[in-house]
Amino acid sequence: MDQFDRNILNHLQAEGRATNVELADAVGLSPSPCLRRVRELERSGIIRQYAALLEPNAVGLGVSVFAQVSLERQVEAVLDAFEDHISARPEVVECYLMTGDHDYHLRIVVPDLEAYRTFVLDHLSKAPGAFPAFGRASP
């Protein structure tokens, strides 16, 4: 990967809907080589997918909460069971296995704090092996 590829990636991250001509102009290439490079970045898996970033409040998901979760034990079966349970929940948009005081760091997106409370009581607290430490909400 050279500087042109890095520039293509930077530009696509900022403006994913840019046309090939716009992208080529922005990175200093002619359209044909630019398109070849984009196709190769896609083929190699460097570009996994294209996505739209939504305005959370506009889609009724104005509260983002970070929750730390500790597990009873850190063994493969417990980790797998927790991850299977939590990955099925649409409220969980990010889940990271951590080192330190807690085993997982979750980002949960919900309409309001009551929805977060319901999520914790009905789903997170019932996750296999989990001891949730309540997170901090950020509107």
CA distance 37 to 5: 7
Q: Map out the domains of the chain as residue ranges.
A: 3-43, 56-138
DSSP β-bridge partners for residue 66: 107, 136
Angle at 94 between CA 14 and CA 62, to 5 degrees: 75
Which class in CATH covers the domain with range 3-43?
Answer: mainly alpha
Determine the pLDDT at residue 135: 46
CA distance 54 to 110: 14
Fold of 56-138: Alpha-Beta Plaits (3.30.70)
Other C-beta atoms closer than 10 Å to the C-beta of 86 total: 20
- pTM of the shown model: 0.74
Residues with pLDDT less than 70, the chain: 132-139
DSSP β-bridge partners for residue 109: 64
